[in-house]
């Protein structure tokens, strides 16, 4: 919040800018639509070089599928001088990456504790990543029995891709494997579903949805989704699933 308060300009995706405007109505905003990430970077750098303090915003954590990477990429390719973590040496721009609460953390807290052990995070957006690469990662994560967190699971232009992903995953998982679905986590209109691989309500899923697929130890208890770390087996000598 302090970074936003001290900024002269706030630059971001249109939807995220609209969410912030009521909090800082006096600020100057520049909003760009989907797939205009480089335009945001270009504008932010230009404003910063003119002596302004600029906040480039993302939802969740700016370093997880957010604008931090895009901004570093832009500065490197365009030879924009930026300060290193060791300090400023000249007329360099200073970039500060401020951590936030990722959608995966928000969704997990709403479901219970599904990320209690190792997990893999995979986006189904094939705009920048080829489907074959996504498929390879899904297959490897399922085969290795990671809890799998899925970002960008289904959009109007890609209504089919979640089913394609599940077809890859279910080769290694039983149909009853727990699945948690959270839409608009911590925002107005939040929805929460706990189901299984075989009963995923595809039509309910959109781009504001996070899907968490459990590992072989994940269980549902009292409508909470939990992935145990192993405490019950180590200290009590029992498998958590056997006590359900």
187-205 residue pLDDT tens: 999 999 999 999 999 999 9
Categorize the per-residue pLDDT at 134 as very low, low, confident or very high, splitting at 50, 70 and 90.
very high
In the CATH scheme, what is the code of domain 2-77?
A: 3.40.1010.10
Mean pLDDT of 23-44: 93
Are 182 and 107 in contact by the 8 Å Cβ rule? The answer is: yes
**pLDDT recorded at residue 241:** 57
Q: Is the pTM of this model over 0.85?
A: yes
Place of tokens 């901004």: 71
Q: Do domains 2-77 and 103-237 have the same CATH topology?
A: no
Q: How far apart are CA 101 and CA 60, in angstroms?
A: 5
Nearest to 94 by CA among 104, 85, 107, 105: 85
Region of residue 85 (left: phi > 0; alpha: psi -120 to 50; beta: else): alpha
CATH number for the segment(s) 103-237: 3.30.950.10
pLDDT at 218: 97
Q: Are 134 and 126 in contact (CB under 8 A)?
A: yes
Question: φ, ψ for residue 79 (rounded to 5)?
Answer: 55, 40
Tokens encoding 236: 């009590």
How far apart are alpha carbons 141 and 144 in whole angstroms? 5
Give one DSSP letter per residue of 4-34, joined into a string.
HHT-SEEEEEHHHHHHHTTT-TTSEEEEE-T
Residue 33 CA: distances (Å) to CA of 46, 76, 90, 187: 19, 23, 34, 20
Instruction: Identify the helix (H) or strand (E) that includes residue 77.
Output: helix 67-77
pLDDT of residue 156: 82
Q: Is the dihedral of CA 144, 222, 165, 156 positive or negative?
A: negative
The mean pLDDT of 85-108, rounded to a whole number, is 92
Q: 3-state DSSP call for residue 55? A: strand
The rounded percent of the chain whose pLDDT value lies above 90 is: 83
* Structural domain spans, the chain: 2-77, 103-237
Q: What percent of the chain has pLDDT over 70?
A: 95
- Residue 12 scores a pLDDT above 80: yes
pLDDT-based confidence at residue 89 (cuts at 50, 70, 90): confident
Kindly tell me the sign of the dihedral angle through the C-alpha atoms of 152, 154, 158, 160: positive
Arithmetic mean of pLDDT, 210-215? 98
């Amino acid at each position: 919040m302090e970074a936003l308060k001290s900024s002269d300009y706030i630059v971001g995706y249109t939807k995220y800018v609209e969410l912030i405007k009521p909090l800082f109505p006096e600020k100057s905003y520049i909003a760009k639509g989907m797939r205009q990430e480089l335009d945001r970077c270009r504008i932010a750098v230009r404003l910063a070089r003119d002596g302004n303090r600029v906040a480039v915003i993302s939802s969740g954590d700016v370093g997880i599928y957010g604008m931090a990477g895009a901004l570093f990429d832009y500065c490197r390719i365009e030879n924009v001088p930026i300060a290193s973590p060791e300090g400023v040496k000249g007329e360099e721009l200073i970039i500060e990456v401020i951590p936030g609460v990722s959608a995966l953390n928000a969704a997990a807290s709403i479901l219970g504790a599904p990320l209690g052990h190792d997990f893999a995070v995979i986006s189904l957006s094939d705009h920048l990543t080829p489907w074959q690469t996504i498929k390879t990662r899904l297959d490897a994560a399922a085969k290795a029995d990671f809890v799998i967190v899925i970002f960008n699971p289904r959009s109007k232009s890609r209504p089919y891709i979640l089913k394609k992903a599940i077809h890859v995953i279910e080769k290694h998982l039983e149909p009853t494997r727990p699945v948690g679905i959270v839409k608009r986590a911590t925002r107005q209109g939040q929805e929460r579903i706990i189901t299984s691989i075989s009963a995923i309500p595809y039509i309910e899923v959109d781009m504001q949805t996070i899907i968490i697929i459990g590992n072989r130890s994940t269980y549902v208890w009292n409508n909470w989704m939990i992935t145990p770390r192993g405490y019950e087996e180590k200290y009590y000598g029992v498998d958590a699933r056997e006590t359900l």
